[in-house]
Chains A and B, each alone.
Chain A
Amino acid sequence: MTLIRAGLTLLFLLTTLSSSGAAEADLRGIIAKFATVTDFSETGAVVQELTATGDSAVERPLAALADGNLYIRTADSMVFVGKEGDEGVQLFDPLSGEAAGEASEDDITKITVNNTLRRAIRDALGTLTLGSKDPTVRIAAADTMFKTPDAANIEPLDAAIASESVASVKALLEQARGASILVSDKPDADKLAAIALIGARGDRNAVSLLTSVEANASGAVKEAATAAIASINSTLAIWDAGQNIWYGISLGSVLLLAAIGLAITFGVMGVINMAHGEMVMLGAYTTFVVQQVIRTSFPGLFDWSLVIALPLAFLVAALVGLAIERGVIRFLYGRPLETLLATWGVSLILQQAVRSIFGPTNQEVGNPSWMSGSFDIGQLAITWNRLWILVFALTVFGVLLYVMKRTPWGLQMRAVTANRRMAASMGIRTPWVDALTFALGSGIAGIAGVALSQIDNVSPNLGRGYIIDSFMVVVFGGVGNLWGTLVGAFSLGIVNKFLEPYAGAVLGKIVVLVLIILFIQKRPRGLFALKGRAVEA
């Protein structure tokens, strides 16, 4: 009995092995053709041949090809999946994925791909990965098939829908099936049902698909498509307004971050600090240095790089600020023009110093994984980095407000601002309060630099782009008032982003400037005017 069972198992194993062995040999034969291709259309032909086998084993070599990781070893024309390591490239078997040694870059040639090939591979993988165990892969497959509908997709999609257990994936698969029906020669009734299904999806991809259907169809199908497009577009118009508000808030948070340090140095102390932007730049460069150290010594900590950079950026910028206050500005209190010129000179010195140390070119500051990509709320795509910057700006604002209103140091700062001589008589060491206040403002600019390094260039010119905007926000919001800076930043951001789609970015900016000039004529002290040294001066 046992003997018979063992024999049967052996027989079974042998047959499966031999059949898969034959298929594998075929696949290897096709893959080997990559070694002889001379241009993109030949590579495309091999890709087609591979997908035509319908074998899910071709996923590995195709995905590698699309990512530019498929190599040919020059010595024996063998095809491998490669992974770039520290020294040379690690090779893997294209079908089994088993390690196959290493090779130096000179011994292997990469199989090049272009966008057309990448798209063809993506479409092919869509069909092949429909039965994947991972729901996210199935979602990606459904998405690809929706974007590139093909009548031949209906059958595999039917099978996939029947076996699908996750409701959300099933809905996507049905939409992909609907898209495929629209380009097939199925009866109009089926097509009308498909249009209803796709119309309910309601996003830009649906509009895109329906527009091409509308152009090619006639009769009831064309009318239904037109109606569906109109209804989607009217919903999208509302989302567009929401999107503008979000973009405005996001721009406002960037303005707030850039201006909040200036709200202290210019707003509270009354120092026209033209080197403010350079403090932001120093913060960004600190982030760069921190990331460099992490990349070379502690690669595992990369996602924490920004958190680590924050206190350091604050310290670096605050120390430089302290040095500027002690070295230059304290001799110039009450002489705004001289302060302006001197700080402008300091800003040029700082820029050129950074240029000499780090070079004039942009430095790469990476996005940690939690700050990359986007997520959707309805039809609104929100990018993670913008969201985190908003959260960060509000946190910084809250902390600063607390320091100003609730700590003894903040009390001293406000006392010196309100009446310097009285404060001095009360035993406050006003010179040190000045120095520390300036250092605080500079430090805040430094941590703003950490956040801005995520969305802007890290170059010696980084600060230049923010200085005008920062002054605009502070002056508009009301000199000396933190809340004014907050309201000023967000209202300028939102107005700007509402104007941009209609007036364009260039004209939009001009309109905003003109509006501010008119506003300042009416209310010279900004939205929220305060009394203080700045006012008396």
Chain B
Amino acid sequence: MRGNFSTITKMFSASVVAAGLLMSAPARAADDTIKVGILHSLSGTMAISETTLKDAMMMLIDEQNAKGGLLGKKLEAVVVDPASNWPLFAEKARELISKDKVAAVFGCWTSVSRKSVLPVFSELDNILFYPVQYEGEESERNVFYTGAAPNQQAIPAVDYLMSKDGGSVKRWVLEGTDYVYPRTTNKILEAYLKSKGVAAEDIMTNYTPFGFSDWQTEVSAIKKFGSAGKKTAVVSTVNGDANVPFYKELGNQGIKAEDIPVMAFSVGEEELAGLDTKPLVGHLAAWNYFESVNTPENKKFISDWHKFIKNNKRTTNDPMEAHYIGFNMWVKAVEKAGTTDPDKVIDAMIGVSVPNLTGGYSTMMPNHHITKPVLIGEIQANGQFETVSKTPGLVMGDEWSDYLPDSKDLISDWRKPLSCGNFNVATGKCGGKGTN
């Protein structure tokens, strides 16, 4: 029965997508346009998060065209819908590159969708900008990671909780959805916590399925774990849809942020939009951007966004900022290279520096990750985050975690002559092993 369902799902989503494509098929492009691919799910479970990114990209491309385009040509967005279906991501990526001849692709949200398109991008030699925080343990020549690596989100977040300001936490619950990002992140965090002297019995790890909605047992287990006379905090890598019922249950069972704070890595302004946040004031999130950040760049970005989407209530979030940075970097690199040829642009990308929305500059590093500030925010009654801590400088994305035995000797440097994504400094060879 279940097998049938999934094949049917595929069949139907494929046909729905095909129909959608027919309707939105781009007009035959003249030679004076540069095409940019947008590979975000507009239907299916991930549409909730990815549709916003598609809209953000459309806005950025519009703005660039208003500024006169790129290399004297107009930019043209080619939007496809991979429908939250991982294999379809690969097919759609191939279509964008081979058929539509796009110069670069902005897309993907889940790690599994990224993994599924990787071979396509290296085979056809194109560029993917990946805007979401992820588990690291990867560095590909054709991918630029504009979201946070674990050391740009998870580690500073835990550091904050251990500090006096964060409440000197001694006991940890690692609560996550059961897939690759939470599992890898929690593995890194566990190793990190142990290196800081946290005993194994003071760490509790728990996983729940995607879209989990009955949190009673888990929340009462957290309550129980928290009553051991030591300051306890929850580090949550719970993903997407499961968050709303999780927070509702926390609120109803009366877990206050002052007693057991929950630090989330996947909860942004967008997720909070579906919640009454009054019982949740004080729970935390770690990101590289909050909508509430008070800088002129951010104010302009938000007002442009409201104008573009024609809705003053739509929030902005961290992956949108990542696309903002990634797109501007790409524009700059293309101008620097004088061509949109992916091969030349990839080389030109390294060292490109553009303003981010939090009042600084982000730079593309040789490992294809970027530098970002890390912000810790507390949930407010109005559904926004208020920054309570910010790293003093920019943090450089570390693709191979130093806390995992398999990857601590690996580095990535895509500059010539090394040009290697997994160089093992211990053996001096390219092609060391990673956990994934």
Contacts and interface: CB of A to CB of B under 8 A. Distances in A.
Interface of A: 40-41, 68, 112, 114-116, 118-119, 122, 147, 204-205, 207-212, 215, 243-244, 247, 250-251, 254, 340-341, 344-345, 348, 351-352, 355, 359-364, 366-367, 372-374, 381, 383-386, 455-461, 464-465, 468, 471, 497, 500-501, 504-506, 509
B168 to A, nearest CB: 9
Contacts, number: 175
B12 A215 contact: no
Contacts of B218: 500, 505
Contacts of B206: 504-505
Given A208-B227, A509-B209, 10 more contacts: A115-B258, A208-B229, A361-B274, A364-B273, A373-B252, A386-B252, A457-B274, A461-B211, A465-B241, A506-B178
A348 B12 contact: yes
Contacts of A340: 8
Given A68-B380, A122-B258, A355-B43, A464 B276 contact: no
Contacts of A359: 51
B217 A501 contact: yes
Contacts of A456: 213, 244-245
Contacts of A352: 16, 43
B257 A118 contact: yes
Contacts of B229: 208-212, 215
Given A112-B388, A374-B254, A506 B209 contact: yes
B386 interface: yes
Contacts of A465: 211, 213, 241
A521 to B, nearest CB: 13
A436 B255 CA distance: 46
Contact of A247 (B165, B216, B245, B271): B216
B212 interface: yes
B40 to A, nearest CB: 11
Interface residues of B, number: 69
A96 B48 CA distance: 47
B220 interface: yes
A355 B49 CA distance: 12
B411 interface: no
Nearest to A496: B214
B197 to A, nearest CB: 16
Contacts of B216: 247, 250-251, 383, 386, 497
B48 A362 contact: yes
Contacts of A373: 252, 254
B252 A506 contact: no
A497 B217 contact: yes
Contacts of A468: 2, 5
Q: Is the interface of A mostly helix, strand, loop or mixed?
A: helix
B218 to A, nearest CB: 7
Contacts of B208: 504-506
B326 interface: no
Nearest to A365: B274
The list of the 8 closest CB pairs from A to B, nearest first, reads A362-B274, A212-B229, A211-B229, A204-B227, A208-B227, A383-B252, A505-B208, A119-B258
A463 to B, nearest CB: 11
Nearest to B44: A461
Contacts of A112: 386, 388
Contact of B252 (A68, A243, A372): A372
B248 interface: yes
10 contacts: A116-B164, A360-B52, A362-B244, A383-B216, A386-B252, A455-B213, A455-B249, A501-B217, A505-B206, A505-B218
Contacts of B58: none
Nearest to B254: A374
B274 A363 contact: yes
Interface string B243-261: 0110011011110011101
A171 B204 CA distance: 35
Given A352-B43, A361-B273, A385-B252, A457 B178 contact: no
B99 to A, nearest CB: 25
Interface string B192-208: 00000000000000111
B47 A355 contact: yes
Contacts of B227: 204-205, 207-208
A535 B359 CA distance: 68
A244 B218 CA distance: 11
Contacts of B251: 372
B378 interface: yes
Contacts of A344: 8-9, 12
Nearest to A340: B8
Interface in B12-70: 12-13, 16, 42-45, 47-48, 51-52
A247 B217 contact: yes
B12 A68 contact: no
Contacts of B257: 115, 118
B413 interface: no
Nearest to A513: B2
A501 B222 CA distance: 11
B48 A461 contact: yes
Contact of B248 (A247, A355, A455): A455
B174 to A, nearest CB: 13
A340 B227 CA distance: 50
- Which of A340, A344, A360, A385 has the largest number of chain B CB atoms within 10 A? A360
- Which of B47, B245, B252, B282 has the largest number of chain A CB atoms within 10 A? B252
B385 to A, nearest CB: 11
A509 B388 CA distance: 39
A193 to B, nearest CB: 20
Contacts of B5: 468
A361 B211 CA distance: 15
Given A114-B165, A115-B167, A251-B216, A459 B241 contact: yes
Contacts of A506: 178, 207-209
Contacts of A40: 165, 388
B244 A505 contact: no
